[in-house]
Amino acid sequence: MSKILGIETSCDETAAAVLEGTVRKFGRTEKLERSARQEDGRVRILSNVIASSASLQEKYGGVIPEQAAREQLKSIIPVIKEALEQAKITYNELDAIAVTQGPGLIGSLLIGVETAKTLAWAWDKPLIGINHLVGHFYANWVQEKGEKVGEVEEEGEIPRFPCIGLLVSGGHSDIVLFEDHNKFRYLGGTRDDAAGECFDKSARLLGLPYPGGPLVAKLAAEGDPKAFDLPRPLIGSGDLDFSFSGLKTAVANIVKFGKEEKDWKDQKVKDFCASLEMAIVDCLCKKTIKAAQINNIDQIIVSGGVAANSTLKRELRARFPGKVFVPPPFLCTDNAVMIAASAFYNFNPIEPTALQADPSLSLG
Ligand code: KG4
Ligand code: ZN
């Protein structure tokens, strides 16, 4: 069993985690049959530490890059120390270090990447740079302390290839086809705003604090999703793309009008949140399931902060006849567990001096 330290600092979080599992040497899995995949197994969480400037975000209505980086500079070493302590290991017992290389805020990425490079050099450990967007998907390969984690239907079951990946976060809404570890094809994505961004900006219009997604979801649970007739942009288009900016404009118009009405009270806000949530969920389900059908694939893996949305999970499962993997909510939003997990399945060390933070990495 190997142990990998993961480090994640792409946005405002400073996160470190230690995971234990079997490393798949880069390229080796190419030769394995698909049926052998199940033997790859899951990786286990030994520790998971996250420091975030949530109170500052709430105060300013979002993340201020400069401020986020300054906070991360203060917390990166204590967070890594805490991750090793919680895992009850010393750095000697680590087999490798994995770090988010991009995409993200450059100031934030640099703190994680430069710290990881320094530690890899000082501790003489292999260093692996991880694409944050790919990393999100690997939350579906994780198990916590030997227990069943998440919403998989059968204990210990992991996704099989090929599978369709839906990434829905604050900055991305992408659909990819995974043929294997480290082998995927971009199928479609948002042409403007991301799904999480639509949740956040709509919440802001409603006067709710940042990040708005979880609050909209909470209010939506007591609302009627059919109460407001909101647009589902591009839902009938022949491609696998999304567009959420038109929905946001519709929200802005309705909220502005609604605030002038006297009956825009508690229940109406709940109904509105439920309608908004269902409009986003309808778009995501339609295109993701279409991607699976076109490619004759029976497994979907979901990831990113919006994957924590229980309506999305419920509706995808209800509408898709195949298997839908969704990580538990604490692994959907940004964390270092997914970064370390990704390294186990995509073990491709790089010289510390050669690794560069890259804010423009994508899935395309
Ligand atoms: O993946 P993530 O933590 O950060 C990025 O890489 O962007 O995603 C954050 C996004 C935010 O837009 C947040 O509002 C959204 O995920 N989110 C949710 C829920 N929990 C987090 N959106 C809808 N329902 C939720 N329960
Ligand atoms: Zn993320």
Per-residue pLDDT of the chain (364 residues; tens, 9 = 90+): 899 999 999 998 999 999 998 887 654 444 333 333 434 578 999 999 999 877 666 677 777 888 889 999 999 999 999 999 999 999 999 999 999 999 999 999 999 999 999 999 999 999 999 999 999 999 999 975 444 444 444 456 788 899 999 999 999 999 999 999 989 999 999 999 999 999 999 999 998 888 899 999 999 999 999 999 999 999 999 999 999 999 999 999 998 876 656 566 789 999 999 999 999 999 999 999 999 999 999 999 999 999 999 999 999 999 999 999 999 999 999 999 999 999 999 999 999 999 999 999 999 8
- The pLDDT of residue 28: 43
Q: Which atom of ligand 1 lies nearest, measured to the CA of 310?
A: 26
Q: How much is the pTM?
A: 0.92
Could you give the angle at which helices 245-260 and 266-294 cross, rounded to 10 degrees?
170
One-letter amino acid identity for 217? A
Is the peptide bond preceding residue 103 cis, with omega within 30 degrees of 0?
Answer: yes
- The pLDDT of residue 172: 94
Judged by its nearest atom, the ligand closest to the C-alpha of residue 12 is 1
- Residue 242, both tokens: 């999304």
Judged by its nearest atom, the ligand closest to the C-alpha of residue 197 is 1
Task: Give the residue whose CA is nearest to atom 24 of ligand 1.
Answer: 309
Task: Give the residue whose CA is nearest to atom 22 of ligand 1.
Answer: 213
197 C-alpha vs ligand 1 centroid, how far in Å?
8
- Pocket probe mutation, ligand 1, options 109, 273, 306, 310, max atoms within 8 Å of Cβ: 306
Could you give the angle at which helices 195-205 and 266-294 cross, rounded to 10 degrees?
170
- Pocket probe mutation, ligand 1, options 52, 108, 193, 199, max atoms within 8 Å of Cβ: 199
Hey, what's the torsion of the CAs at 103, 107, 109, 113, to 10 degrees? 140
The pocket around ligand 1, CB under 6 angstroms, is made up of 11, 169-171, 196, 199-200, 211-214, 217, 304-306, 308-309, 333-334
Task: Give the residue whose CA is nearest to atom 8 of ligand 1.
Answer: 305
Q: Are strands 14-21 and 43-51 parallel, antiparallel or unpaired?
A: antiparallel
29 C-alpha vs ligand 1 centroid, how far in Å?
32
Judged by its nearest atom, the ligand closest to the C-alpha of residue 131 is 2
35 C-alpha vs ligand 2 centroid, how far in Å?
30
125 C-alpha vs ligand 1 centroid, how far in Å?
33
Helix, strand, coil shares of the chain, percent, nearest 5, are 45, 20, 35
16 C-alpha vs ligand 2 centroid, how far in Å?
14
CA atoms of 108 and 11, how far apart (whole Å): 6
Task: Give the residue whose CA is nearest to atom 7 of ligand 1.
Answer: 170
305 C-alpha vs ligand 1 centroid, how far in Å?
3
- The pLDDT of residue 34: 36
CA atoms of 299 and 322, how far apart (whole Å): 6
